[in-house]
Chain A
Amino acid sequence: MDATTPTRIPTGAPVHTPDMIPITMKIKRFDPEKDARPYWAEYRLDVRPTDRVLDVLNTIKWEMDGTITYRRSCAHGVCGSDAMLINGVNRLACKILVQDLGDTISVEPIRGLEVQKDLFVDMEPFFDAYKAVLPFFINDDAEPPRERLQSPEDREVFDATTKCILCAACTTSCPVFWTNGRYLGPAAIVNAHRFIFDSRDQGNAARMEVMNQSNGLWRCRTAYNCTEACPRDIPITQAIEEVKRELLWRQA
């Protein structure tokens, strides 16, 4: 793999900064201290097609209207702060570019959680559901002096579901969750999957019990919105179905 002397000279496609284009940004706004109900606000501004939606929001906040409120931190899709309903689907604002959306962009808070202000929603019910599935490693055996062994194959089984950043894009895209907020939701199941299929973990009996509750796993109607929405490309529905089967065979 050590290519000390280059056999060819790769220069790559030059990266141009594209010109600014005018866009219209529609934002569903709500300030509990002023507004009786949410309303749509429109902003017209020039941005680059390669800007992230988060950059556009920042430009609006920093240049046009400081009152606009949203969560953000990492700005590259790893912290899970800025899941929003963008042009009708759940996306991370920092992981979708203007050029993928066109010149009119609409942004709303994610659904099924209470809107607190503009794009802020109450995340507590989401985290409560997550916490309910015992999303932590359980193994009461004496700890070995070094690591517990796990084959690369065993590690691979649950690789996808270790990627979750708890952004809630999936849960708040789920039609069942919108109307039945007591449904655990895909994010919680994903995080249960991460442990259920970890060969080192021993906590499955308890976890399965939670999954099996009336608002648990079985409420999933395989609508796939979660899978489409996940910014980490976790095959969520696949994971849910794996847990369903595991639970079924276990009970059988």
Chain B
Amino acid sequence: MARAHKYDVLVVGAGGAGLMAARYAAQNPGVSVAVISKLYPTRSHTGAAQGGVGAALGNVSEDHPEWHAFDTVKGGDYLADQDVAEKFSHEVIDAVYELEHMGLPFSRTPEGRIAQRKFGGHTREFGKSAVERACYAADRTGHMILQTLYQQSIKDQVTFFNEFYVLDVILEDGSARGVVAYELATGELHVFHAKATIIATGGNGRMFKVTSNAHALTGDLMSVLYRRGIPMEDPEFYQFHPTGLYKIGVLLTEGARGEGGILRNADGERFMERYAPTIKDLAPRDMVSRAMYLEIQEGRGVGPDKDYILLDLTHIDAAIIEERLPDITEFARIYLGVDPIKEPVPVQPTAHYAMGGIPTTINTEVIRDGNNTIVPGLYAAGEVACASLHGANRLGTNSLGDLIVFGRRAGIEAAKYAASVDYEPMPDGVTERTRSELDRIRAASGSERASHVRKALQDTMMDNASVFRTSETLQNQVEILAQLRERYAQVSVEDTGTQFNTELMETVELGFLLDNAEQLVHGALNRQESRGAHSREDFTERDDDQWLKHTLVYKEDDGSVRIDYKPVTLGKYEPKPRVY
């Protein structure tokens, strides 16, 4: 039998968003809170974030939340919901001060204030020139956020269930009742009964071959809810970060360009001058990644295979590099044997961030359709969610902002909700679905290995659905995905034990990844325009008349995919061509 637990508020995921949510939920006396995570909290990928968190503090030069909101909307190619962007750009200022009050060790200005630097797409006076908006702690901002939040959760005595994999969300009569989780240590299933459940499980970058994302980022809960009939919003907008280390994808923060780093092609040319004359190397990521691909396509890539670009930091003072970018300097030295102080670093675009995800309202309530129908008791925040802040392309530093702003909102909203309702009854047999899937995999005798299917998925997604897409490559990928699903059904595991069966979990995660890829590819195939990170070679223009709307991808009961759309919330900022 499954072990049973009961908490008023349940947080799934212990990254920045999850910990922030838990903290705020726990501040309500009488509301019990638990956090479930498949990793120890401090192993969450928020810790990998480097560059900074954007907030218009104006510590280095004049700045205003309105400018930030504008940059967010424009960076998102006008697909961002403008009410969300406005609220966000104001609230993130408070949230950053709050982090500081929790002890976060930001780097400092000479006056002792939080240090800020330039970042891609952040500008003064609605696009005039780059502005210092990214609040940073060297190139370990995410690490500091994650550690600080975890430290506070120790102070607050939050209850954690670590190395528990949430494999199902219990939805009954349209409302959420809790989750089913697999305990890695014992192989047991646990049922968590809750009044409110917050999903904060991060991204899904592992569906691509070259990615900055951790092995653990397999889009689990995006898939779980998708299978449960909740649509995914805007999954075709997947961000490729321009500067991943060549071949391995480890990220070199945009902060490197914020500090003056320059991208060069094989001719040594600063090619971004041609693509974005005003802010050059600090253009939004989608533009830079595309420019890099184009340079490579046109034969100006570097190296024996002419397939990478150089990030040049050699003109920057060595002391500044060591002080402000110590970690990425080390990454280049260790993994490529290149010393950024002396030589330019080989980079290539790397799969980085899902703009889309579980659709939510501005208050992080999960919605189930284009009419914004709320799923009572279900909340989502962080990279896994799509409150439509990032639109078609996220600006650098806006994800960490997203975590703290919407993580906080989720905690507050969920606790408020939990305090106002009683536990709804837990239906019978809630573990059946999970148990039978696990049993099926354990008992399978097929000849396929999960790793081979996953590799095929990652390679083909990279080829067919990454920076540039065409109807042909996407159609092709739809078929490949169907074949991969068949192969997935043949996957068997060698480890049939109950304790610490990581092979079993990797296999389950592969199933989740396949769903994530399906959402992305279908969303992309249907969207016949180019916008933000979604770039169609057969539809190269943005088409606001037809496509200024959010995609919703549904999984039907028969396994087929249905696409629907919902309108974008517009506001002050009229959609305009995006030039920098």
> Which residues of A are in contact with B by a Cβ distance under 8 Å?
1-6, 8-17, 31-34, 50, 52, 61-63, 65-67, 69-81, 95, 97, 116-118, 120, 123, 127, 131, 134-139, 143, 145-152, 155, 158-159, 162-166, 194-195, 198, 200-201
Contact = CB atoms under 8 A, between A and B. Distances in A.
Contacts of A79: 39, 42-45, 47-48, 214
B459 interface: no
Contact of B215 (A11, A72, A80, A194): A72
Contact of A139 (B43, B103, B269): B103
A14 B451 contact: no
Contact of A67 (B45, B264, B337, B494): B494
Interface of B: 39-40, 42-45, 47-48, 57, 97, 100-103, 105-114, 137-138, 140, 143-144, 147-148, 151-152, 154-155, 185, 214-216, 246-248, 250, 259-260, 262, 264, 266-270, 273, 302-304, 308, 310, 312, 314-317, 327, 331, 334-338, 343-346, 449-452, 493-495, 497-503
B48 A17 contact: no
A149 B270 contact: no
A147 B100 contact: yes
B188 to A, nearest CB: 14
B103 A137 contact: yes
Given A73-B39, A79-B45, A150-B108, A1 B268 contact: no
A10 B335 contact: no
18 contacts: A1-B259, A3-B270, A11-B268, A15-B303, A33-B497, A65-B494, A73-B45, A73-B216, A79-B42, A97-B334, A135-B154, A137-B102, A139-B101, A143-B101, A150-B108, A152-B107, A158-B105, A165-B42
A81 B101 contact: no
Contacts of A150: 108, 112
A2 B143 contact: no
A244 B194 CA distance: 46
B145 to A, nearest CB: 12
A127 B338 CA distance: 36
Nearest to B50: A78
B260 A2 contact: yes
Contacts of B154: 131, 135-136
Nearest to A131: B154
Given A31-B499, A74-B48, 9 more contacts: A6-B269, A8-B268, A15-B303, A33-B499, A63-B451, A67-B494, A69-B502, A146-B113, A151-B108
A17 B449 CA distance: 26
A10 B270 CA distance: 11
Contacts of B316: 1
B451 A62 contact: yes
A123 B103 CA distance: 25
Contacts of A155: 105-108
Given A6-B264, A33-B499, A80-B42, A147 B143 contact: no
Contacts of B259: 1
Contacts of A164: 147
Contacts of A76: 48, 248, 250, 331, 335
Contacts of B266: 11
B338 A12 contact: yes
A4 B100 contact: no
A151 B498 contact: no
Contacts of A131: 154
Nearest to A195: B103
A6 B270 contact: yes
A83 to B, nearest CB: 11
A14 B497 contact: no
Contacts of A70: 502
A213 to B, nearest CB: 18
Nearest to B111: A149
Closest 9 CB pairs of A and B: A137-B103, A9-B268, A62-B451, A149-B112, A66-B494, A136-B151, A67-B495, A1-B260, A117-B500
A102 B498 CA distance: 35
B499 A66 contact: no
A157 B113 CA distance: 16
Nearest to A74: B214
